[in-house]
Amino acid sequence: MEQQIVSALSGVLGGAIGGLITIWAMFRIQRSTNVSLEYDEIRKKRVEIIYQLLGSRYVLMEGYPATESDVKSFNTAMSLFSIYFAKDPEVMSAYDRLLNSESDDNIVQMLKVAAKTASLELLDTHIKRVMTVAPKNASLLVPRASQ
């Protein structure tokens, strides 16, 4: 009888330990998955911001007749940029340089560093040479590629 009680208790104890290990492993996997999803979402948002800046940086061109919508789009992307890249000192250094001196070279450098941080493979030609069309049938504006 004593042996049966010991066997029953060890079976119950083994089941309880196995269940606890399973629950612990499940929580670890869930947390790991959540961290991966968060990283992926942040990367996705960073890429969207970079694309937004690539598409709206023409508002910095001298003489470009930027509309209120153009400016809002660029400013929103710059605001989000400072949030989503805040933890990367190299990117923020390039961001600060742009804020101190609004030049095509500084925004190109900032976008290059940000693309690298976001694991986005952009060629220099993707960043440096962007053709834009001014609103209201104005002439084509092609920024000079800085060498």
Please write the tens of the pLDDT for every residue from 60-76: 877 778 888 888 999 99
**How high is the mean pLDDT of the chain?**
80
Tell me which of 139 and 55 has the higher pLDDT. Answer: 55
Tens of pLDDT, residues 108-118: 889 999 999 99
Tell me which of 75 and 24 has the higher pLDDT. Answer: 75
pLDDT at 145: 47
**Residue 42 pLDDT > 50, yes or no?**
yes
How far is it, in rounded angstroms, from Cα 63 to Cα 74? 16
Tens of pLDDT, residues 9-20: 788 878 878 887
**Residue 144 pLDDT > 90, yes or no?**
no
With bands split at pLDDT 50, 70 and 90, how would you rate the model's confidence at 34? Answer: low
**Residue 32 pLDDT > 80, yes or no?**
no
Q: Sketch the domain layout of the chain as residue ranges.
A: 2-141
Say what the pTM is: 0.65
Helices 89-100 and 104-117 meet at what angle, rounded to 10? 160
